[in-house]
Structure 1
Amino acid sequence: MSVRRLLPGLAALCFGAVLARWIELVFGVNHLLVAIGLGFVLANAISVPDRLEPGIATHKLWLGAGIVLMGASLTLDSILEVGGVVLAVVVFVTGLTIAVVELLSRNVFGLADRLGSLLAAGSGICGVSAVVAVAGAIRAREDQVAYAAATVLLFDAVTIVVYPIVGDALGLSGIVFGVWAGVSMFSTGPVVAVGFAHSEVAGQWATLTKLTRNALIGVVVLGYAGYYARSAAGTRPSVRTLWDEFPKFVLGFLALVLLATSGVLSPDQLDAIENAYNWLFVLAFVGLGTEIRLAELRKAGPVPAAVVLLALLVASTLSLAVLSVIF
């Protein structure tokens, strides 16, 4: 795709980012949440013009780049200090979420097995990305993928609003709120947004926790592929497929963590990197807001939404209780 086609949409993202910063200065509303709101208004009240779509679609690239650069603000010492605890919480809550969704969808609400598995992967790992990855491994129907994706997007929109309110009401510390958001919310973009909306520390821990959770996608895809392959003729995902689905910005993030740990970056360079990833996040969240389409959210039927809501309440409540005790 030519750069010329991207320019109008990129200009719109930049305008939205600057406007979000200005609104924060004038009205005191967090600029990341404002950026999402601006994108939402553009998509639902005005509609995104065709000429802007290619450039706005690059918002996932800017999010990944921001996450990579954010690695420079952390060191191995700070991660290892509570890293084992975070990993244990991530594995526990991920497994719990998947198990609860599978149990409710199959034994209580009577959803089709594959639809339940897509909902479990989306809510347990990394949102729509996990839905798509697992769908390819278990040969889910297109309508099941659409229902699962719409349900995940619905809860992404809800949790972006609800989590900051709950965090402020309970007076959660940066680490507790960040790990809680990272371990129980669904998609990477909303997690990073609410984390940094709370505080810098919360944003860093929310991102780190979510990346740890995202890295489990390969295990979950293999598990579901093996389960469904035993009950029907099917093919197991190849190493190439797993690599294609793996969130590669995790590797860039770790590389920057190692670079920061080595001490080769000066304070001025760290400040410049922090300023750069903050702006990249604002650009990304303007684009993220355009993906919250009311028309798409209406496709989420009440039964899948009920299943995911119950699983979210269980996972978020238990994880918050555990984290409050630990930290």
Structure 2
Amino acid sequence: MPKFDIATAGIVPTVTLSDAADQDHSTRDAQFAGLHNDLMFLWAMADTANGKRYQLVRTLSASAAFDFTLHECPPDLWAYPRTVRVPGEQDLYWGPIVWTKVDGEHTVLSGNVTMAAKHAMTVSLGPSRYVWKEDDVIDVTLTPLPSNVTRISVPGPPDDVGYTSSGCTVTGTIEGSPVVGGYGGLDRMYCLPGLSAHVSKIAQLEHYWFVWGALFDDGHWETGNAMLGAGGYATATYHRQGEPAVIAANEDVDSQVAWQTRDGVSLPHRATLSFGGRTFDFEGTHNAAACAAALGIAWLHGTVQERGGPTPVKTWATMEVIQRSWNRARTEGTRARPRD
């Protein structure tokens, strides 16, 4: 049987925006027919009162907590972030978990008593908030913005997959300093029973991710979420509070990513996304890769500005480049076109 070439498969996704209150936050979440929620990611980019910018990510499954990183992101794209905590015996909880429902929220209980005694971890997911606490370094609440869950369904060979990404505001403290602004979320990967999300079709498709939130002087938010992959695959959503959402896929999404090379190291630093009659410019401001660099992932924070649109008071944006599945020759001429 010939190998399935995802770059020439002509994959067509279905993309919608929904409200977090409509989501099932339990491990029995079956919103995609025949699929299960294999992995979920709590994440945030947050500014604190002491002038620091942080990236934080925690990976959870139905039975384990792992793959965590908290790092301080320097305002120099070529400087390496300061790692604050990573999972393991010395830093943070790593091990089995049990989910239980408490006061309408699905809450994690640590299954390894010895590790739990060393590293306290609390995660509670509900329709109106995601509470996340780790030792004495993280105490944050992610609050979903209205109708701001990007839902992506991608059926068909080689396997059916789904993805949801809920965009949230961020409050709380990090390393004891109050969060003064930020944007984060809860992402979920869905795949066929018996299949790991890491080797599913969605993992093969995700080459570039852009997620952003922009706050304006009248208090309203504008948010965006875009994924670019092989063979012209693309999804994009944009939502201004109080207005209809803009949603596009594949050939209706145009993009360019600019790279720089220094001392043999290449990094993306700017990007342009166009869909739904709008164009957005991403400008990198902080290196956020840290531990992700070892996995072949470039990760930047930055700003997003709509061309011809009003200037926000503040924007938080991230560009994640999953280089382990990205090949420059393969993506030349696709919707994600790198240019040095």
Sort the TM-score into its range (normalised by shorter chain). under 0.3
- TM normalised by structure 1 equals 0.23
Higher helix share: 1
- TM normalised by structure 2 equals 0.23
- Of the two structures, which has the highest relative contact order with CA contacts closer than 8 Å and spacing of 6 or more? 1
